[in-house]
Structure formats: C-alpha cells, structure tokens
Amino acid sequence: MKIPDPNTVYPLANYKNLCFLKNYINNPNIVVGDYTYYDDFEDVGNFEKNVKYHFDFVGDKLIIGKFCMIASDATFIMNGGNHLTEATSAYPFAIFGGAWQDAMKDKSYPTKGDTVIGNDVWIGHGATLMPGVKIGDGAIIATKTVVTKDVEPYTIVGGNPAKEIKKRFSEDIISKLLELQWWDWDIEKITQNVHKLTSGPETLF
C-alpha cells in the first residue's frame, strides 16, 4: 500500500478541512515538520490567522516538529504582542510615530524567544500558547488550555493557566522514547512499525 506523501496538501480524499500543515505555510518564520496536520472546522487557511502578533521586525519564529496534531482554533501568541511591564505605562507610544517616535530610544520591548513545539504533540481545540513557550515531544495540550510556561515531554496539561494533569508514561519509558526519537526514522521504518506505534510503548523496546 502507498505511504502517505508529506508533500500532499490535503491527505484525506474529498476532505479539505485537514491539511499537512507545512504545505500551507507562507510565512518564513513559521517552520513545520513532515506529517504535522492542522484540522479546522471552517478553513485550514485560518492557521496563519491564528498566529497572532507575528511581526517581521520582531523576528521570532514558531517552530513545530513532525507528526504533530493541531486542532481548530489553536492560537499562538507571538512576541509582537508584548508590552513594557516594568515601565510606568505599558502603552506602545513609539509605534504611532510623530512626536512619540523616539519613546523607545535605547529601549526594547520584552521578548521570550521562539515558540517551539516538539514532535508528536497534540494541541487540542481552542488551546492558546503564549510567546516563547517550549512544548516537549509527546506532550498533550488539552482543549481550551492556556500555556504560559514550558511543558515537559510526554506530559498532559490543561486549564488556565496550564497545569500538569499527568505524565503519559513512567519516567523510564519517557527517557527511552526520547532516546528512540521514532519521528526521525525514515518513513519506511515508521510504516513497518505503525502497529507498535499505535500500541503501548513497551512494544518498541
């Protein structure tokens, strides 16, 4: 049987509400790995609309690994939405120019760096990720969760702000999975092992 092609925009026949995301990205500051998909109730073109405050002049990136699952209305808040919090006023005077154009001279807006999503990460419907968070491989972000801090690998989080619900596996199994990095196998090997990948992780060791 034919192995799914990661360069196919719409991998499901006659269904255009799910795409292999890397083929739908135009912004060079959004990097997406093979087989990561985005499912949208209305239009997969909404994905980049849901990457908010992602201004070229800031230069931060949204980096998403391979084999991720991203549900409709997932939102990524980028560093362009940050304001001064240590100053008397958080108002962005300088962006309006004129007599205010030098308000940020010798100053800079806060940044938390790139937002990085690992591999095999499931991001649930309506989840929001704040600037600069790092989501570990195999993590699950529950529906409507607001992620304000890094999430450890193979950890399920939920709530606002996100809190750990549980680890998916024991620390020993997690360590072995992180060492295994199955998502970096060639696709033929992955295909040969799909029954193991859809069973308990012990079958891989």
The answer to whether the CB of 78 falls within 8 A of the CB of 110 is no
> How does pLDDT run across 135-148, given as a tens digit for each residue?
999 999 999 999 99
Catalytic residues: 83
**Bridge partners, residue 43, by sequence:** none
Mean model confidence pLDDT for the chain = 96
Written as one letter, the residue type at 16 is K
Mean pLDDT of 149-160: 98
* Nearest residue to 124 via CA among 72, 159, 160, 166: 72
Longest dimension (CA), the chain: 66
What SS3 class is residue 19?
strand
| DSSP H or E segment with residue 178 | helix 171-180
| Cβ neighbours around 154 below 10 Å, total | 25
**Bridge partners, residue 151, by sequence:** 135
* Nearest residue to 73 via CA among 43, 31, 53: 43
Checking if the pLDDT of 100 tops 90, the result is: yes
Residue 1's pLDDT band (boundaries 50, 70, 90)?
A: confident
Mean pLDDT of 106-127: 96
Extract the runs of DSSP E, i.e. beta strands, from the chain. Answer: 18-20, 30-32, 37-39, 51-52, 62-64, 69-70, 75-77, 115-117, 122-123, 128-129, 134-135, 140-141, 146-147, 155-158, 163-167
Residue 30's pLDDT band (boundaries 50, 70, 90)?
A: very high
Q: What is the pLDDT of residue 186?
A: 96
Mean pLDDT of 61-79: 98
Residue 173's pLDDT band (boundaries 50, 70, 90)?
A: very high
